[in-house]
With several copies, the nearest count.
Chain A
């Protein structure tokens, strides 16, 4: 880092870009970065680039871009100040100095960090730790109800079972066909399908009667013996005898 300018040319590959090179040159001024002379730094950089050209070393483009920018900065700093030019050369110079300070700070911080007593290199953990083990132990859980219900389930499964079809209150399709075709003849206006169910039908029987009557209504509609109307799905279903004219 503290190499003389003469060796800098030879170690061109060692610089990580123009800022890195500038920092090395600035540190060569051997003053606090806050006190460095930006003009002197610019001169050193431009000299370095000239030398590299003389030695016909191939410089990366960013070194040349930086050289051009520094030459512009130098002229700005030397010429009488034009208040129209923004940002001012002084501002650009300060900015460059701040960047160098920051890079320098991080470079030094990195060096101090890496030189710390590092685990596995300078500081060691126990060579042969016994280790901590967590042994998972299953605690099985079941309730008395689960046990009894399980036995009930097995018994129900394995016990001989006699299947008896219960006598259920139903309305057969034939019954429904008779009933609906008979009633629809007596009713000229649109009537809901529920009005065709037997009076006082409740529970399972009412359900059965409704289902059978519905199928009966479809069958009668197919035969042209009844007309159906429903505004929308699940809306009440209306039945009526067909108009005399149409039926004929």
Chain B
């Protein structure tokens, strides 16, 4: 950087430490009535042009600020992976299979109320969108999935979602108690046989 004379250095320091933009007079007063402050300011503004810091004039007041094209650096987005809650994934599944669906319809299928937050999260994730209103009393809002939804779940279209028969074949429709029993029985059997061997 260019060597700076004492007045320039003083103006630089005063402006840097100031909590608000300063007029030429205010700067001069701060520097015990120094003259030539305006010229120094013009020079400094030129000096800093193209750096990460710039000296700008706002009306009659001057201030240092972060270069305008560097503003995006002051705000950094950090992605945080978060897993969808059980209510979230169920709500999404119902919309995907039944779309478009109103909130009341989703609740009827789930058998539980859904909070507003659940729909908000799905909307924030970009997976559902409002899709008009159902023309019934109260005109409730309809929800449908988005192209991002298909993209995220690797589906060419909603028709790629497995149907009820596929789900049954995959054991995903088995009542929970029976499925548990199957698993439990098998385990117990194995244990039984082993114990028997040991005792023998």
B200 shortest CB reach to chain A, Å: 4
Q: In the complex the two chains form, what is the Cα distance from A155 to B111 in whole Å?
A: 11
Known A111-B89, A119-B151, A131-B17: A19·B84 in contact at CB below 8 Å: no
Does the CB pair A124–B180 fall under 8 Å? no
**CB proximity of A28 to chain B, nearest CB, Å:** 18
- A19 touching B125, Cβ below 8 Å: no
Q: Which residues of chain B come closer than 8 Å to A140, judged between CB atoms? A: 82-84, 88, 121-122, 124-125, 127
Interface stretch among A5-13, A36-44, A75-83, A100-108?
A100-108
Q: Are A122 and B74 in contact (CB under 8 A)?
A: yes
Q: Which residue of A lies closest to B58 (CB)?
A: A119
Q: Which residues of B contact A18 (CB under 8 A)?
A: 111
Instruction: Report the bound CA distance from A139 to B93 in whole Å.
Output: 18
| Interface band, chain B | 35 or more
Contact of A150 among B93, B121, B200 (CB under 8 A): B93
CB distance from A122 to the nearest CB of B (A): 4
Of all chain A residues, the one with the shortest Cβ separation from B26 is A132
Contact A105 B167 (CB under 8 A): yes
Which stretch from B38-46, B134-142, B154-162 is at the chain A interface? B154-162
Q: Is A58 an interface residue (CB 8 A)?
A: no
How far, in whole Å, are A68 and B167 apart by their CA atoms in the complex?
Answer: 32
- Chain B contacts for A138, CB-based, 8 A: 80, 82, 124-125
Q: Check: B59 CB closer than 8 A to any chain A CB.
A: no
Contacts of A175 in B (CB 8 A): none
Which of chain B's residues have a CB closer than 8 A to the CB of A107? 90, 93
Question: Would you call A30 an interface residue if the criterion is a C-beta within 8 Å of the partner chain's C-beta atoms?
Answer: no
Tell me, in angstroms, the Cα distance from A189 to B176 when the chains sit together.
47
Residues in B165-200 with C-beta less than 8 Å from chain A:
167, 170, 172-176, 179-180, 183, 185-186, 188-190, 192-194, 196-200
Q: How far is the CB of A156 from chain B (nearest CB, A)?
A: 5
Given A66-B200, A87-B194, A99 contacting B176 (CB threshold 8 A): yes
Q: How far is the CB of B12 from chain A (nearest CB, A)?
A: 12
Asked whether A133 is an interface residue with its Cβ less than 8 Å from the other chain, the reply is yes
Q: B63: CB under 8 A from chain A?
A: yes
A141 shortest CB reach to chain B, Å: 5
Q: Is the CB of A16 within 8 A of B74?
A: no
A152 contacts partner chain B, Cβ-Cβ < 8 Å: yes
How far apart sit A131 and B66, CA to CA, in the bound complex (Å)? 10
Contact present for A139 and B153 (CB under 8 Å): no
- Confirm or deny: B64 has a beta carbon within 8 angstroms of a beta carbon on chain A: yes
Say how far B15's CB is from chain A's closest CB, in angstroms.
Answer: 9
Residues of A within 8 A of B77 (CB): 121, 134-137
Q: Is B86 an interface residue (CB 8 A)?
A: yes
Decide yes or no: A142 and B84 within 8 Å by CB, A87-B194, A133-B74 being known contacts. yes
B111 touches A136 (CB 8 A): no
Q: Is B93 touching A136 in the complex (CB atoms < 8 A)?
A: no
Q: Which residues of B contact A127 (CB under 8 A)?
A: 16-20
B186 to chain A, nearest CB (A): 7
Do residues A99 and B180 form an inter-chain contact, with CB atoms below 8 A? no
Query: Within 8 Å CB of B189, what residues of A?
Result: 203-204, 207
**A residues less than 8 Å from B18 (CB atoms):** 127-129, 131-132
| Chain A residues within an 8 Å CB radius of B127 | 140
In the assembled complex, the CB of B89 is this many whole angstroms from the nearest CB of chain A, namely 4
Sort A-B residue pairs by CB-CB distance and give the 5 closest, nearest first. A19-B111, A152-B172, A110-B93, A122-B71, A140-B125
Q: Could you name 11 residue pairs across A and B whose Cβ atoms are closer than 8 Å?
A: A94-B185, A95-B194, A102-B172, A103-B109, A110-B90, A110-B93, A119-B152, A120-B79, A144-B153, A154-B94, A156-B176
Name 15 extra pairs, CB < 8 A, besides A109-B163, A127-B16, A134-B76: A16-B112, A20-B111, A91-B185, A91-B190, A95-B198, A106-B90, A106-B110, A113-B96, A124-B74, A140-B125, A144-B154, A149-B172, A151-B172, A153-B172, A236-B199
